[in-house]
C-alpha cells in the first residue's frame, strides 16, 4: 500500500503539472463519476490544486468539485505528455484527467468520488483521520492523546491506524520502531510519554526525509531509505529482512503476520527488547 510520503509526493508532482490548467478530457470507468461528469462536465474546468491528506489524494476543480482517490494496495497515478505511451495497460486505467500539456492517469485506483466542498467538510472518513505527519499544522499532543485512547493496542497496530495518525504504512511502521528501539508488540499503554513522543517524532522525520530526498516523480521505484546509507542494498534496517542479521547487532531479524490484513512486522529482538508491564 502506498504510504504517506508516496501520496504526498504524487500530489506535489500532479499539482506542478496540472494546477492552473483547463481540463480538456475526463474519462472514468466509475459510473458514479460519469453521472456527475454528465451533469456537471469536468471538461472546461480549471484544476485549482492537487493535495494529499494522509493517504487520500484530492484534486480540486473550479466550480466546487473535488476528486478524492485512495490507492489502497495497488492503485497509482501516472502523468504523461499527450502523445506519450503509457507504461501500464489501458485495461488498468480507471481515471483520466487531461489538459493541453499533460495526461494524468489513475491506474487500478479502487476508490474514487467527486465531492463538493460541503461534502468534503462532512466526509466521515476524512474527518476521522488523525494528524497528517506531513502537514505543516501537525499537532503532536493530539497524536499522543489518540494513542492513549488505544492503550491496549500493540504499538505496531496503532501506528497503522489512520484515525490515530495519518501517513504511516507497513514499511515505515517497522523501520520507525526499530530506530526508536521499541518492540512492535508492546502495547501503547505500556510505553511512556517520552517513548511515544520519540516514536511520533521519528515518524515525522522519516516521512519528511523521504519526501525531500526521493525523486520528484509519482513512481515508488527508487525505494525508501531509512538507514542513510549510500549502499543501494542497505536502504532499510529491518523491513523485508526476516532471517537476515541485524545491521546493528547481528541478531536474526524476526517477522510475524498480524492484524486483519495479516501484514508482516519485522523487528530485531536484541535492539528492540520486549518490556514487562
For 79-116, how does the pLDDT look when each residue is reduced to its tens digit (9 = 90+)?
999 999 999 999 999 999 999 999 999 999 999 999 99
pLDDT at residue number 215: 40
192 vs 209, more confident: 192
Annotated catalytic residue, options 3, 173, 175, 202: 3
Question: Does the structure show a pLDDT above 50 at 219?
Answer: no
pLDDT value at position 221? 38
Q: Which helix (H) or strand (E) holds 65?
A: strand 65-70
For strands 76-80 and 103-107, give the pairing.
Answer: antiparallel
**Residue 223: predicted pLDDT:** 61
How far apart (Å, rounded) are the C-alpha atoms in residues 238 and 233? 12
Residue extent(s) of CATH 3.20.190.10 domains in the chain? 4-127
Distance CA 3, CA 220 (A): 10
The topology (CATH level 3) of 131-267 is: Helicase, Ruva Protein; domain 3 (1.10.8)
Residue 144 confidence (pLDDT): 96
Q: What's the pLDDT at 231? A: 85
User: Which one is catalytic: 27, 31, 55, 235?
Assistant: 55
Q: Where residue 276 falls among pLDDT bands split at 50, 70, 90?
A: low
State the pLDDT at residue 212.
Answer: 58
Please say if 110 is a catalytic residue.
no
Residue with the three cell numbers 461534502: 119
173 is catalytic: no
Which three three-digit cell numbers place residue 230?
549510500
Smallest CA-to-CA distance from 199 within 178, 219, 171 is with: 178
Structure confidence at residue 127 (pLDDT)? 87
**pLDDT of 2:** 59
* Higher local confidence (pLDDT), 53 or 151: 151
Q: What pLDDT was estimated at residue 4?
A: 64
Provide the pLDDT confidence category of residue 213 given band limits of 50, 70 and 90.
Answer: very low
Q: Are 253 and 243 spatial neighbours (Cβ–Cβ below 8 Å)?
A: yes
DSSP annotation of 202 reads H
d(CA 275, CA 277): 7
> Tens digit of pLDDT for each residue in 117-147?
999 989 988 888 899 898 888 999 999 999 9
For 215, phi then psi, to 5°, come to -55, 140
Mean local confidence (pLDDT), 57-81? 93
Residue 28 burial by Cβ neighbours in a 10 Å radius (0-12, 13-18, 19+): buried
* pLDDT tens digits, one per residue of 222-262: 467 899 887 888 899 999 999 999 999 999 999 999 876 77
Residue of 157, 156, 195, 172 whose CA lies nearest to 55: 172
* Chain region(s) in the chain for CATH 1.10.8.50: 131-267
Per residue in 145-196, pLDDT tens? Answer: 999 999 999 999 999 998 999 889 889 999 999 999 999 999 999 999 999 9
Among 2, 173, 175, 202, the one annotated catalytic: 2
Q: Is 50 exceeded by the pLDDT of residue 217? A: no
Topology, domain 4-127: N-terminal domain of MutM-like DNA repair proteins (3.20.190)
What are 65's three cell numbers? 468539485
Look up 235 and say whether it is catalytic. no
Radius of gyration of the chain (CA): 20
pTM given for the model = 0.73
Q: What is the model's pLDDT at position 73?
A: 75
Amino acid at each position: 500500500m502506498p504510504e504517506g510520503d508516496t501520496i504526498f509526493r504524487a500530489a506535489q508532482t500532479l499539482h506542478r503539472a496540472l494546477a492552473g490548467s483547463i481540463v480538456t478530457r475526463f474519462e472514468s470507468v466509475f459510473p458514479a463519476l460519469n453521472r456527475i461528469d454528465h451533469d456537471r462536465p469536468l471538461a472546461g474546468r480549471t484544476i485549482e490544486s492537487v493535495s494529499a491528506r494522509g493517504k487520500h489524494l484530492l484534486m480540486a476543480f473550479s466550480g466546487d468539485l473535488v476528486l478524492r482517490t485512495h490507492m489502497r494496495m495497488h492503485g497509482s497515478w501516472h502523468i504523461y505528455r499527450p502523445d506519450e505511451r503509457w507504461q501500464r495497460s489501458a485495461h488498468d486505467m480507471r481515471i483520466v484527467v487531461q489538459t493541453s500539456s499533460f495526461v494524468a492517469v489513475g491506474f487500478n485506483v479502487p476508490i474514487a468520488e467527486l465531492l463538493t466542498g460541503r461534502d468534503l467538510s462532512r466526509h466521515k472518513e476524512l474527518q476521522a483521520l488523525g494528524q497528517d505527519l506531513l502537514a505543516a499544522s501537525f499537532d503532536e499532543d493530539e497524536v499522543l492523546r489518540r494513542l492513549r485512547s488505544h492503550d491496549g493496542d500493540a504499538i505496531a497496530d496503532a501506528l497503522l491506524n489512520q484515525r490515530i495518525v495519518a501517513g504511516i504504512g507497513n514499511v515505515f511502521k517497522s523501520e520507525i520502531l526499530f530506530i526508536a528501539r521499541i518492540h512492535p508488540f508492546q502495547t501503547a499503554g505500556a510505553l511512556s510519554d517520552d517513548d511515544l513522543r520519540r516514536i511520533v517524532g521519528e515518524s515525522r522525520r522519516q516521512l519528511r526525509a523521504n519526501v525531500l530526498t526521493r525523486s520528484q516523480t509519482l513512481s515508488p521505484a527508487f525505494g525508501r531509505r531509512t538507514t542513510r546509507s549510500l549502499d543501494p542494498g542497505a536502504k532499510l534496517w529491518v523491513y523485508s529482512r526476516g532471517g537476515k542479521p541485524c545491521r546493528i547487532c547481528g541478531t536474526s531479524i524476526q517477522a510475524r503476520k498480524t492484524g486483519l490484513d495479516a501484514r508482516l512486522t519485522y523487528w530485531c529482538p536484541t535492539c528492540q527488547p520486549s518490556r514487562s508491564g
